[in-house]
């Protein structure tokens, strides 16, 4: 049955790891703004695509 004690401790440690990563996430501001990042990720794509168009254009010329 000794293994049960080990498992309990391990489960606690894993839970603690998640708790502290939650603290870290909160502290580093990841919950400050739940809207901008969802939009921002789309902008990056667009920027690349305009750059691509430009390079395409220059090769044609």
Positions in the binding site for another protein (CB under 8 A): 1, 4-5, 8, 11-12, 15-16, 18-19, 22-23, 26-27, 29, 31-36, 39-40, 42-43, 46, 50
| Rg of the chain in Å (alpha carbons) | 23
| Residue 34 or 60 with smaller CB distance to another protein | 34
Smallest separation, CB 52 to another protein (Å) = 14
Q: CA–CA separation, 20 vs 23, rounded Å? A: 5
| Residue 43 or 58 with smaller CB distance to another protein | 43
Q: CA–CA separation, 56 vs 10, rounded Å? A: 55
């Amino acid at each position: 049955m000794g293994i049960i004690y080990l498992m309990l401790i391990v489960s606690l440690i894993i839970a603690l790891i998640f708790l502290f990563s939650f603290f870290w996430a909160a502290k580093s501001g990841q919950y400050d703004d739940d809207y901008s990042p969802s939009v921002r990720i789309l902008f990056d794509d667009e920027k690349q695509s305009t750059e691509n168009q430009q390079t395409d254009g220059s090769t044609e010329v």
